[in-house]
Structure formats: structure tokens, C-alpha cells
Structure 1
Amino acid sequence: MRHTPSGGAGSGTAAADNRLMSIGTVLNVLREEFPDVTISKIRFLEAEGLIEPQRTPSGYRKFTAHDIERLSRVLRMQRDHYLPLKVIREYLDALERGEEVRLPSLGRQQRDAADTDVLGGLLGDPVTPTVARIGHDELLAAVEISEEQLKDWESYGLLVPLADGTYDAEAVTVATLVAELGRHGIEPRHLRVMKAAADREAGLVDQIVAPLRRHRNPQTRAHAEARTKELAGLAVKLHAALVRSALGVRHP
């Protein structure tokens, strides 16, 4: 990927400096315009192919002024135009190929609706799956993540493949939320406490309905499934309410 100067507000400092810079220096430069940017965010954009910093023999990232200009443009397009990374990458790559392309526009209303859906899944009612299972490649494509990211999330138990290599329907929701949290600097290792809490909650629900599931009467077993869904929904709502209460956030 060939980086070229992109211009725009906030890039003058970077353009005037031709030295190779560490990720910490880059962070300080970017925070003048993007105070919420984090090192995790920069690493995530690199993993998504938006930038390609140089590497020292010991593996440290080194950024050029052009890298910072490109980062600034990516962050600006996310902030001002609410564009997904795939669209931004395709747009910038087309510009670097010398093509005349128009800036795509997702629109604030669409982006706000998407954000509401994500937050609703995290702090509101559980999302109802539309499919029973999803394949490995389908999951990668649906969430737009890399094989390396998926393996990393699996290593922390956030996603667990089934025996046949597929994933259950909730995998897309989980992966989407993990990716979204990652954009805010929350890494998979930080989510182990959430995973542990979810496992404990699931264990409690299972303990309550287990006697019903073992019953010979089919109607009783069917009642067990209904009770499981009901208790799961209540547990999710309670967890969301506790998180909102701890953070002092009002329910929308």
C-alpha cells in the first residue's frame, strides 16, 4: 500500500517532520485533533490494512509523516462521515491508484441507528439470532475481521467453535461487540471478566432448569427451554441495569 500525503486539517505538524516516529509520538500528534484515539485503535487500523508502518529489526513500529496523514484522514472520515473501515480503505486505495472517486457517505442517521443496535445488544434486550449456525469464513466476512483476530478472541474464550468448526448464531453478535469495544481501546484480555461472569450466570440458569430438562414428559422439557430463555433474558437485563447503575448511565 503506497501512502501519499492527504492534506486536511491537523496534518501540518506531521508533514513538516520527515523523521520516523514511534507509536507513542504518533499518538501525541493525533490527539491534538482526535483526543479519544488510543494505541489500541492505531494497532487495530494497522490490522485492518489502513496503514502499514515500518518495523525495526526488533519489531517496533516506526511511522512516517505520510502514515500520520493517512491515519488522520481515516479518523476524520470515521468521525465526520460515519464510514465503515472497509469503505474508507477502498476509497483511499482508489485515490492512491490515481482514480477519480467520490467520497462515499453513509449518513449520520444510518450510523446512529447502527450504533444504537450495537449498544442495544450490549445493554438492552438480547439479540434474536436469525440463523442456527455460521461457518468460519462467513463469520470472518460478516464481522470483517482477520483470521489472527479470530484466533486471539478464541484464545480468551470469547468465541468457541462447535465440533464441526462452525459457530452458533450468537457468534456474530459477540464478534461484532468485541470488535466495537476494541475500537474504543478495550482489548480481548480485558473481556475475560465479562466472559467469566456470563459463564457463572449461565451456570446458575442451567442449575435451575436442569431438573425440568431431565423430565420424561416432553411438555415439561419444552417448558424447560422456555424457562431458560426467560431467565437468560432477565439475567441480561439485570446485568445491563447493574452496569448502567455503576456508570451512572440512564436508560435511553
Structure 2
Amino acid sequence: MAHTPMSGAGERGTAAGRLMSIGAVLNRLREEFPEITISKIRFLEAEGLVEPQRTASGYRKFTRGDLERLALILRLQRDHYLPLRVIREHLEAYERGEQIQLPAQAAPREAADEEPWEPPAADHRPAAARIGRDELLAAAEVDEARLAEWESYGLIAPLPDGGYDAGAVTVAKLVADLGRFGLEPRHLRAVKAAADREAGLVEQVVAPLRRHRNPQTRAHAEATARELANLSVRLHAALVRTALGVRPS
């Protein structure tokens, strides 16, 4: 695993090098973390794990040190499945110049030539990043009762271990925003059903690739799934705008 060295704490608060917008940081991180979103970066900022500068008009500006810090956080989540509390402790130790002993990474399982490859059970697929229930409530700025209601309608679902993937934060914030316009969870069941159908179409395309014995083909399946998902979202948005007669913003 290639690690980008993390700059010291002093660099984080200074304009070391060219400052970057949150969009530029997102593009840089996506080279290694394709699932990263702006919402995830904002969540990490809200948790105090990264502290970008702010312009007079309130826009976030990130230094190279901030970018490296975010990359380190995401690696600790992806490769070692560490909770944010432990990651925070590691970051503080890094800033003090201490060496940290991380748990060993699990070696990828190589299937024997004579054995057909079987996809892992959904319960054991590692998530790009996982957060706890309290973290989701804080990020979405909602209470327990509202989250429970969203779950009852299937808009948000916990993972088998009780945590949530990073996408749950995005869903929760969007559901909350729609609620300000009077759209309740029961109104959004049709949206969820449509999303499930679109996901089913994507799965039909990539399922044969995921079952392939060649690791490169299986890796290509994930890239194909992401591309199809992005195209599906764009098509859905275009169809809704067309139906409403609304021009793209």
C-alpha cells in the first residue's frame, strides 16, 4: 500500500503551496478513493479531522497538507477499518512525531486455479468507509426518532455490523432537505423503488464480470458499476428536469 506522507500540523494552518477548492480536493482523492464524495469531506471536517481555511465569503480552501491528511484518514478507514475515534488518536500521535502500530492488513485471497471464484457474501464486502449511528445522526443533524422513521421506509439501512456506509450520510441529508419542502418519507418510497430498479439493471450488466475468475476482470466490474451508476443518475436527473420543464442549473 503506497502511503502519501502526511505534513505536519503546522502546514495545515498555513497557505503552504497553492490552495485548493473542495472540488479540486475531491478530484485528487478520487484517483485513489473513487467513492469519495464532497459530503464525506464535509463530514470529516465537521468531526474536526481536517480544518480547511475559509475565504471571506465562506468557501473552503485546502492546503496540500489538508489533502494528504484526508488521504491518510481514508486509508486508515479503507485498509484498517478503524473508527474515527481511533483515527483521531493516530493523527494526534503523528503530529507529535510518534510511530503508530497499525493492525495488519488482510492479504487478498487468491483462488486456486482449479476452484471457481465465488463473489463474497454481501455481509462481508468491505465498505469504503463506515460510520456509527451517532456519527450519522450528527452529520445529518437529525434525532433518533427521525432516523428510525427513515429506516422504517427503507430510505436508509444499517450494515450487518450496525454501522453505515458513507453514502448513508448523503441520503440522510437529502431526505432532510426534501423534508423542508413538506416531502415526508412515505412520499419518497417511489424514489427508493426507482433507485432499486436502476440498481438491478446495473447489477444485470456487471454480475457476469464479478463472477469471473480473472481478478482484473472483477476489478473492471466495479469500475463499470460506478460508470453505469453515474450515467443512471444523470439520466434520472435529466428526465425529472424534462418532465418539470426545468432547465439545468
Query: Scaled by the length of structure 1, what TM-score is found?
Result: 0.49
Larger radius of gyration: 1
Higher helix share: 1
Query: Scaled by the length of structure 2, what TM-score is found?
Result: 0.49
